[in-house]
Chains A and B, each alone.
Chain A
Amino acid sequence: MARNKRSSPEINAGSMADIAFLLLIFFLVTTTMDVDTGIARKLPPTAEEQEPEDMQGNARNIFEVYVNKKDKLLVEENEMEIEKLRSSAKDFINNNGKDPSSSDSPEKAIISLVNSRGTSYEMYIAVQNELTAAYNELRNEASIKKYGINYTELNKAKQKEIRKMYPMKISEAAPGEF
């Protein structure tokens, strides 16, 4: 009886906060909150028989971008600085048949990107970034014109509709040595 009555000594919880702080600092230090970001692309299937037919004959709908091993740009047979690539790509895509040497319509416009094996990855990403930016800006402009809000704020169905107006067609040929 007497035994039962004796209560076990209480555990001192005063140091609990210290232990918790220690763990907290450990996780604070090891935590990484960076989200992976990048340029998303879809590779074409390998099937060789399905040569895209609109690549032939219709040269006006192809916007040729070459990047050589010295990281120099050749756009539609003219040398160009990377800063101008975005605006000239936009002009090309959004030509709608005005200029006879430029594209018929945004749906038909194809950007052909050819790089050398010696091109630096940095330059390649810069070019991809500018081309993506051209499409993003055009889509955004179309969205504002049509719905009055930014493309990213549209719902999925409307985004798809805008994407259909400006489909991103970037074709990449096998890299050459130049």
Chain B
Amino acid sequence: MSKFKKNKKSGTPPISTASLPDIVFMLLFFFMVTTVMRETEMLVDNTLPQATEVKKLERKSLVSYIYIGSPRGLNRKKQFGTKAKIQLNDAYSTVGEIQSFIAAERESRAEEEIPLLTTSIKADVDVKMGIISDIKEELRKAQAYKINYSTRKELN
């Protein structure tokens, strides 16, 4: 009898939580390393079109982004109208500024990386092709031939 009594008394041993901080720290470092903070504020509406035949954009450091869309938010729409605008870095720009934008992007990269530079065109679905064609023409003049039409993966 006494044998059984002893057993009941001890119960299940508590799980040691001493290693919990280690686990949490491991997760913390993982997310710290993978996190990318958005460096530009979006000034234009940007709903990307859908496509299936997509390629991944590799080496994000070698990509320059051109955003096209109508001004985001009611206030900006009142101020700038609803016509599609180009956003380079943090400001609205005109088609004529693309060449200097590409030149500035090139300058900030190492010489050997320049041929690998890609321009990602992030245009809203409602944008008309006229402005896109103008941009493409400017990119050709700036000899930035590698482009990528940014899209969303199709949801099936």
Binding site for B on A (CB under 8 A): 13, 16-17, 20-21, 23-24, 27-28, 30-33, 35-46, 115-122, 124-126, 128-129, 132-133, 136, 174-175
- Given A33-B34, A122-B49, A125-B51, answer yes or no on A24-B60 (Cβ-Cβ < 8 Å): no
Q: How many angstroms between the C-alpha atoms of A42 and B56 in the bound complex?
A: 15
How many chain B residues have a CB neighbour from A under 8 Å? Answer: 53
In the bound complex, residues from chain B placing their C-beta under 8 Å from that of A21 are 24
What sequence of 0s and 1s flags, for each residue 120-148 of chain B, a beta carbon within 8 Å of any chain A beta carbon? 10011111111011001001110111111
Contact residues in A for B32 (Cβ distance below 8 Å): 23, 27
Residue of A nearest to B129 (CB): A119
Q: Which residues of B contact A45 (CB under 8 A)?
A: 140, 143, 145
Dominant secondary structure of chain B at its interface with chain A: mixed
CB of A24 within 8 A of CB of B31, answer yes
B76 contacts partner chain A, Cβ-Cβ < 8 Å: no
**When A37-B55, A43-B140 are in contact, do A125 and B151 touch as well, CB less than 8 Å?**
yes
Q: Are B125 and A121 closer than 8 Å at their CB atoms?
A: yes
With a cutoff of 8 Å between Cβ atoms, the chain A residues found around residue B20 in the complex are 17
Return 15 A-B CB contacts under 8 Å, by A number. A17-B24, A23-B28, A35-B57, A39-B51, A39-B148, A39-B151, A42-B145, A43-B145, A45-B143, A118-B128, A120-B127, A121-B124, A125-B50, A129-B51, A132-B53
Give A14's nearest chain B residue, CB to CB: B21
B35 at the interface (CB under 8 A from A): yes
CB distance from A129 to the nearest CB of B (A): 4
Closest-CB distance, A18 to chain B (whole angstroms): 9
Q: Does B140 lie within 8 Å of A46, measured CB to CB?
A: yes
Give chain B nearest CB distance to A12 CB in angstroms.
Answer: 13
Contact with A along B36-78 (1 / 0, CB 8 A): 1110000000000111111111001001000010000000000
Assess whether B129 is in contact with A38, with CB atoms less than 8 Å apart. Answer: no
Q: Most A CB atoms within 10 A — which of B128, B145, B147?
A: B128
Asked whether any CB of chain A lies closer than 8 Å to the CB of B25, the reply is yes
Tell me if B80 counts as interface (CB < 8 A to partner A).
no
Q: A39–B63 Cα gap in the complex (Å)?
A: 14
B153 within 8 A of A: yes
Known A24-B28, A28-B31: A118·B51 in contact at CB below 8 Å: no
